[in-house]
Structure formats: structure tokens, C-alpha cells
Structure 1
Amino acid sequence: MEIKLDKQSANQASIKINLNEADYQPKVDAKIKDYAKKANIKGFRPGKAPIGMVKKMYGTSVLVEEINDILSKSLSDYIKEQSFKLLGEPLPAVEDADAIDWKNQKEFEFEYKIGFVENVNITLDKSIKATDYKLKVDKKAIDDAIANLRSQYGKMTNPEVSQENDFLYGDLKAADGSFDQALSLPLSKFDGRSVKKFIGVEKGAEIEFDPSKAIKSDLAEVLGISEEEAEKVSGNYTFTVQNINRTEDADMDQEFFDKVFGPDQIKTEEEFVAKIEEILGDNYNKETKVFTEEKIKEVLTEKANIELPEAFLKEWLIKANEGKVSQEDVEKEFPIYAKQLSWSLISNKLAEENEIKAEHEDVIAKTQEMVREQLAASGLGAQMEDNMDMFVNNYLQGNEGQNYMQMLTAAQNDKVLDLVKEKITLKEEKIDVEQFKELVQN
């Protein structure tokens, strides 16, 4: 057997494996003899068929099987001995495989295309600079959050006279009889001029208007009809008020504090405002932490200047996801994939050099953090904490172990980023919400 590496560029090569009869024939003969002992061939007692007949029947398939086993092990062992980092999987030269004459050939040559990187060089020091963004929680953000909570926990009333932001329930009819439906109209969805007709009215009032001109947001959503039906809504309509619904803001009292944060957690309005500011700060800075870390990754990726085997990787992605992605899909998504792959190479290199390794308890903690965020987003946070172990175990056991490996990688990545932040120059910059939105958009 002969194995040769033929480099075509700094990061792409082919591996050629040459096999002669001595490399595979002993294994093929042994396998055929084993077949002959077990073969049940018509006209012969089990295991008594002539070896020549068994060879004629099974020889080619055994040859292919044994050569494939030899190739797989030899290729794997050879790659392990190399200093470079293999990317993707070796791609066999299909045209060469199709040309093989399995019945008559004695010597075989197989070729595999590979993509790799030789070295990932990155040194962490104070010359590497990045910005650590922190969000300032301004008074408007606090006031808006409190206003939303007071509205959310407020009580529904049915006043006699309508005001701005009320919901009017009643019958909406088209003058030509093409539409007749009972519904609730949110006055907040009307434009500034049209809404004046609906303010200061009482039950029983009849209001004429054109919904297509008066309603500023999604007409289909407001009226509860399909997009096709909404396109036909135009002209004179009459709305007859049957009821006025209004949500009155909750008072800033103990009952409200208990509803939001649980019994006796907050005692005064000052404590409530301070708690809202703390939560907003935590939520904002989770977002800025992700943004900061993405920028740090960009800085390190640029410094490492890893040259990826782009042509090979695109071909490998298409073949590895055969039938699931097109050439166009790969071309479109490749920049994102290349960015993630480059960072993965850097992160693994730093973890190896600094003996960073995620343990099982790190995986559990990382998964708990993810589950808590998901539960909080659905409004089920505190009351589901007792079931945390069940949620975590169910997630980590799912997807045939892939979920566990993903969380293991994420936990290790967190540790690498913590090290990076210690080693480089990280300058804190406080920004407001609007500045952060602008940064993200850019």
C-alpha cells in the first residue's frame, strides 16, 4: 500500500491511496472461506458448496467490502498523523470510482479531496483592543416599562363616554350591505384625525367613516378578516357602539407590587422603581454582552487571518447535505458559515493552549440559564423553577445527544471568551438604547 499527499494549494490537497493484491487478497480469501462454511446454496448441504462457486457468487461484493474497510482505516490513520486540521470530510473522486473494473483489476488507486488549515496562530495580549458595551437605563425606559405593567395588571371598566385608547365594541356595516359584523375597534389603531369621531361618544352612537382610510395599521388584523376581504373594504361604513371597554392602570400599591414580584418582595414605590431599573439593566446588558462578544470574535478572527479552503468547503457542504441545500443556498450562507468555522478553530486552539475544558456541571448550568430565559419569556419563570431538573434533563437527552454536545461546546466557548476578556484591552463604553439599536443595525 502507498499513500501520498498531493497539495494543490495552501489549504486544499488530495490523498491518493494505491492498493496492490497483497494488501487486500488475504482478507478477501479469508472472508470467502468463512462464507463457504455458512453458505446455504441449493443442491449442496450447508457449508459444503465448492469454494470456487462461493467465490464466483460472492467474490466481487466481498472484494468491494474489504477494500472499503482498508481505505476507511488507512485514510483515518493517515490523517491523524498529519499536523494540519482537517475541515469537513474527505471527498472521494467519484469519477475514478465509477471507472473501476472490480472483476479484472488487481491494483487500485483511490483519490480523496481534502480541505484543511495548517496552523491557527493567535496570541492574546493587551495590544488587542475591543469595546465592552454597557447600556444606560434612562428614565423614559423605566417609565415605559412601569406604564406597560400598570396597563397589563390594570382592571377592565365600561365607562359611559369613550376616551383615547379605549376599545369600542359594536356593529360595523357597509352602506352597500356587503359587510355586517360585530367586532371590537381599538382606537389606538386609528389615525389622528379619524379617531376624533370615536372619542367622547356614548353607547348607541352611530359613526360613519371609511375603515380603509381611518385605520392606520393592518386593516385585516384590526377587523379580524382575511387579507383578500380587507382589500374590498372601502367607502362608507357605519359603526354602532354597543359597549365601551377601558383598561384602567393599576394603582402603585401593595397589591400591584405583589402581583408583579410576588408577595411582600417589594414594599414601597421607590423599591419598585429600583427593581424595574435593575431588571431592565440586566436584560439590556444580556443583549450588549452578546453583541460585545460577537465583536471580540470579529477582532480575533481578523487577527488570526485564517485562510479557509472555500472551494472545497462549498463542495463538501452540498454533498454532505445532499438534496437539502442548493449551490445558491451555499453561496448565500457561506460567509456566515465561514465566520462561525473560523471562530470555532480559534476557540478550540485557545482552549487547547490554556487547558480550558467544560465539565458536566458547566453544561447543566448553561442549560439551566437557557431554560430560565425561555420560561421567563413565556411568563412562566418563577413558578416553574421546581421543575428545572426535568426541563434540563429532557433537553440534554434529546436529539440523539446532539443537544448535550452543543451545550458542552457553548459552555467551553464561554470559558474561552472569559479568558480573552482578561487578556486583551477591553474598554467599557456606556450607550443608550437608541445608540445600541444603531450599532446593531450597522
Structure 2
Amino acid sequence: MNITKENVDDLNALLKVKVEKSDYQENVDKALTNYRKNANIPGFRKGKVPMGIIKKQYGKNVLGDELNRIVSEGLFKYVDEQEFEILGNPLPKNDIEVKGDFDNPDTFEFTYEIGISPEVDVKLSGRNKYEYTKVKVDKTLVDKQIEDLTRRYGKLTSGEKVGERDMVLGQLVELNEDGEILEGGVMNDSTISMEFVQDEELKKELIGKKAGDTVVVNPMNISRGGNDTASMLGIEESQLDSISDKFNLTINEVKVMEPAELNQELFDKLFGEGEVTSEEQMREKVEADMAQMFEKDSEKILTRRISNDLIKKTDIQLPEAFLKRWILASQKEAITMEDVENDFENYARSLRWQLIQNSIFKNNDMKVEKEEAVNYTKSLLVNQYAQYGMPAPEDAELTQSAEQVLSNQKEAQQIYDMLAEEKMTKYFKETVKLDVKEVDYDEYVKIAQDSNA
């Protein structure tokens, strides 16, 4: 087999794959012999069917399968050995017919098109300056966090009236269009958190109600939607479209969250025994923990800013026509070229960023080693055990579990991507100048949610 490359332009090329009879005949003959051994054809004993009949019935299919196999393997090997890199995979050139005769097989020639990965020159140095946004962890923010912590570790007590942050225990009964109880409708006892009530008018109506009071509600307005709404009603999520939007909510009981006291018992629960012994120390600890938590988000914002800038300023030409055809051909679910065209800008942007990342990694000898991935996965598993209040297993068992996770291609890709992002962020922080800017929490949230910020 011989493969030759013909350049169309800097980003596109054709691969001519010439297959000689000697490349495929031996395996074709073996396959046909196996067919003959197992063929059940009326009028012939098993294994005694004339080879001429076997060739006539199975020959072309066997030849086609063998040609497909050796051409695919040959293309993969050829591309792997070249200095240039390709985007996507080789595609059969539809407007060039296969050369060769399946009735009288001898030499075959196949033509494939490829998209060539462009050279990428990333210009990033200490002369580049980017804003590094930090959140001001002020007294208001610390107060709110402490309030949340005391509520989380508080206890529920019975209340007389519904308040803004209380729990309402009640019965939900489905109504018909006339506001009457729907015969055979949904009826379920449930607990509603006032914090999840998004409808302000409904919230005002509920506040101040007592046990025994009834209010007409839309289930979607007293839950987080989807599975949460279905769970509240005691039905399957698939049934939500078929139910009424009017339910009677009869309040049976009001539960008030009584915050935990700021005492040594709470300090020990939050930070470990004896680590914090006063409210002042708790505030310092909470402030430090919040600053550390926000640092990860600040790094993500920085990486996003730099990536947006590099994508904009780095000239990367792509073989767009080839890529569109490849996307169309490689999708498992049927899509149209119009679908590809509509989403191509997003795909191209993602591909350009991937090429920029690859260039930075290559030029700075950066890699994600398997050992790093295993250790990172082990840390994720330890955190999972901790969340469930369980001790982590011995290191050998933990390592085995991590390797099992990494054997899943999708999960492994996510972990390698996370590690690559961490290395990229570290490289950015060490390479560019940072213009540190502190903003209040509300402004910080807006910046974090703005993909262009």
C-alpha cells in the first residue's frame, strides 16, 4: 500500500491511497475459506460448498470490508508518522470515484481529503497586562456567611405564622378549571421552603398565614421546577405537563429555623475541636476561607479574559469548508448542514482556543502526566468520602478506584481538561502582569456571569 499527499492549499490536502492485490488477497481468501466452512446453502453439505459460489455470494462484501480495514489503518499510521497535524479525520473525496474493479479485483485507489492544522504563534509575555478581579470580603459578606452557617446548623421549631424564610408543611390538592377539587387528581403532603417561592405576590400572600389556612398556588411557583416540583407533588417528572397549574395548599404546620448559637459547640462543628475559640477568631477564619474560595473564581475570570484576548488577537485560519463536512459526517445523530452552519462560529472559537492551548503547552514543555491525573482523582474521591462522613480507604485501594475512574474515557477527559486548565492558569499568572482590582460582591457576580468580561 502506498499513500501520497497532494496539497490543495496551506490548509487542505488530498491523500491518495493505492492498494495492491498483495495487500488484501491473503486476508480475503482466509475470510472466504471461513465462510465456506460455515455456510449452509441448500443442496450442499456444510463445508462442501464450491468456492465459486462462496465468492459470488460473499466475495464483494468481504473484499469491501478488508479494503476498508487496511485503508483506515494505513491512513491512521500515515498521519501519525507525519510532522504536520490534521483537524478531524480524513474524509472520502465524494466527487472522485474509487479506482478499481470489484468484479475483477486488482489495484484500487482511494482519495481522501484532510484539513491541516495551522501553525499558531501565541504572543504572550510580561508586557501583557490583564485585570485580576478580586471580591471585597467585607463585614457585610462575612455577616451573611455566618448567618447562613448558623441557620445550617440550627434547629427547626414550631412557629405561629409563616415568615420569609420558614418551612411550610401542608397538603397540596389539584383543582380543576372551576377551582373545585379535581376527581382523581394529585394529592400529596409536602414541605415548602419559603426561600424557593419566586412569585413575589404569592410570597406576600403566604407570609402571615397560620395552620389551617388555605391558599391557591401554582406548584411551579413554590419549588425549583423539574424534578423538585415532581418530588413535591409525589409524581414523575414526565407527568408535570399533564397536571393543573392550580392547587389548594392547606397549611398544617409552620416550621421556623432557629439559628445555632455562636458558642464552642458550633465552632468545633465548623472548624474542628479547639481550632476556633471565639467569635472574633470565627470571623477571621470565615473571611480567610471566603477569600480562598473566591480566588478560584478569580482565576477562572482571569483565564477567560486572557483566552478571549488571545482568540481575538491570534491569527488562526481554519479549513472551514472541510471542518463543516467533517462535523456533518461525524455526528451520531442526524443533523443538517444548516445546523452545522448555525453553530459553526462557536465550534471554530472552541477549536481556536484548543489550538492556542496546544501551542502554549508545546512551547513551554507543559504536560499533564498520568500520575498527576491519578493523584487528582484520588483527591476528588477523598472529598466525596468526606462529604458522606466516611473515612477514605487505604492508598492502594484509593489508587485502584482512581484508575478505574480514569478508565472511563469521558470522565478521564474531564479530569485531564481540569488539570490542563489549572496549569494554563498558573502559566498565565506567572507570565503576564496582573492589575489587581477589588470589587464588591454584587459587581463580582456580574463580572463572573459575563462571558465577555
Q: Scaled by the length of structure 2, what TM-score is found?
A: 0.74
CA RMSD of aligned residues (A): 4.5
Residue in structure 2 matched with residue 136 of structure 1 by the alignment: 136
Task: Give the whole-Å Cα distance in 1 for the aligned partners of 2:128 and 2:11.
Answer: 27
Residue in structure 1 matched with residue 404 of structure 2 by the alignment: 397
SS at the partner of 1:13? strand
Q: Contact 2:100/2:106 (CA < 8 Å) preserved in 1? A: no
Task: Give the whole-Å Cα distance in 2 for the aligned partners of 1:164 and 1:416.
Answer: 44
Task: Give the whole-Å Cα distance in 2 for the aligned partners of 1:248 and 1:295.
Answer: 43
Deviation readout 1:355-394 (Å, 9 max, x if unpaired)? 2222333213332454466x39xxx438345248556643
Instruction: Determine whether 1:421 maps to 2:417.
Output: no
Instruction: Determine whether 1:341 maps to 2:351.
Output: yes
Residue in structure 2 matched with residue 115 of structure 1 by the alignment: 115
Match of 1:263 among 268, 273, 288: 273
Structure 2 residue identity aligned to 1:397: Q
SS at the partner of 2:389? helix
Residue in structure 2 matched with residue 231 of structure 1 by the alignment: 245
SS at the partner of 2:90? strand
Q: Contact 1:155/1:250 (CA < 8 Å) preserved in 2? A: yes
The offset of 1:297, in angstroms, is 2.1
Instruction: Determine whether 1:211 maps to 2:216.
Output: yes
Deviation readout 1:307-353 (Å, 9 max, x if unpaired)? 22222222222322233655455445443433332232222222222
Residue in structure 1 matched with residue 12 of structure 2 by the alignment: 12
Correspondence list, 1:79-228, <5 A: 79-80=79-80, 82-94=82-94, 96=96, 101-104=101-104, 106-158=106-158, 165-167=165-167, 178=181, 189=197, 191=201, 194-195=205-206, 197-198=208-209, 207=213, 211-212=216-217, 217=222, 224-225=232-233
- CA 1:417–1:305 in 2, change beyond 3 Å: closer, same or farther? farther
- CA 1:350–1:242 in 2, change beyond 3 Å: closer, same or farther? closer
Structure 2 residue identity aligned to 1:381: Q
SS at the partner of 1:231? coil
Instruction: Determine whether 1:26 maps to 2:30.
Output: no
- CA 1:314–1:145 in 2, change beyond 3 Å: closer, same or farther? same
User: Structure 1 unaligned runs (5+)?
Assistant: none
- CA 1:323–1:399 in 2, change beyond 3 Å: closer, same or farther? farther
Which deviates further from its counterpart, 44-53 or 165-174?
44-53
Q: Contact 2:260/2:266 (CA < 8 Å) preserved in 1? A: yes
Task: Give the whole-Å Cα distance in 1 for the aligned partners of 2:2 and 2:170.
Answer: 86
Task: Give the whole-Å Cα distance in 2 for the aligned partners of 1:79 and 1:361.
Answer: 28
Task: Give the whole-Å Cα distance in 2 for the aligned partners of 1:420 and 1:97.
Answer: 50
Residue in structure 1 matched with residue 373 of structure 2 by the alignment: 363
The offset of 1:115, in angstroms, is 0.9
Correspondence list, 1:55-74, <5 A: 60=60, 63-64=63-64, 67-68=67-68, 71-72=71-72, 74=74
Deviation readout 1:55-93 (Å, 9 max, x if unpaired)? 777765665455445534543454345443201110113
Task: Give the whole-Å Cα distance in 2 for the aligned partners of 1:115 and 1:238.
Answer: 62
Task: Give the whole-Å Cα distance in 2 for the aligned partners of 1:409 and 1:162.
Answer: 47
Instruction: Determine whether 1:353 maps to 2:363.
Output: yes
Structure 2 residue identity aligned to 1:231: D
- CA 1:387–1:292 in 2, change beyond 3 Å: closer, same or farther? farther
Residue in structure 1 matched with residue 236 of structure 2 by the alignment: none
Which deviates further from its counterpart, 248-257 or 430-439?
430-439
- CA 1:247–1:412 in 2, change beyond 3 Å: closer, same or farther? closer
Task: Give the whole-Å Cα distance in 2 for the aligned partners of 1:58 and 1:69.
Answer: 17
Deviation readout 1:139-197 (Å, 9 max, x if unpaired)? 22211111112112112223567766444656789998638987667666574753565
The offset of 1:266, in angstroms, is 1.7
Q: Contact 1:37/1:47 (CA < 8 Å) preserved in 2? A: no
Task: Give the whole-Å Cα distance in 2 for the aligned partners of 1:262 and 1:324.
Answer: 55
- CA 1:14–1:27 in 2, change beyond 3 Å: closer, same or farther? closer
- CA 1:60–1:138 in 2, change beyond 3 Å: closer, same or farther? same
Task: Give the whole-Å Cα distance in 1 for the aligned partners of 2:62 and 2:204.
Answer: 84
Matched pairs, number = 423
Task: Give the whole-Å Cα distance in 1 for the aligned partners of 2:324 and 2:278.
Answer: 61
- CA 1:307–1:388 in 2, change beyond 3 Å: closer, same or farther? farther
Deviation readout 1:104-156 (Å, 9 max, x if unpaired)? 36443311111112312224322333222222212222111111121121122
Deviation readout 1:190-229 (Å, 9 max, x if unpaired)? 747535653xx6x7xx65x75359x975599599546766
Q: Contact 1:314/1:330 (CA < 8 Å) preserved in 2? A: yes
Q: Scaled by the length of structure 1, what TM-score is found?
A: 0.75
Which structure would you say has the larger Rg?
A: 1
Give the share of equivalent positions with the same residue, in percent.
Answer: 27
Residue in structure 1 matched with residue 297 of structure 2 by the alignment: 287
Task: Give the whole-Å Cα distance in 1 for the aligned partners of 2:31 and 2:156.
Answer: 82
Task: Give the whole-Å Cα distance in 1 for the aligned partners of 2:278 and 2:356.
Answer: 50
Instruction: Determine whether 1:310 maps to 2:324.
Output: no
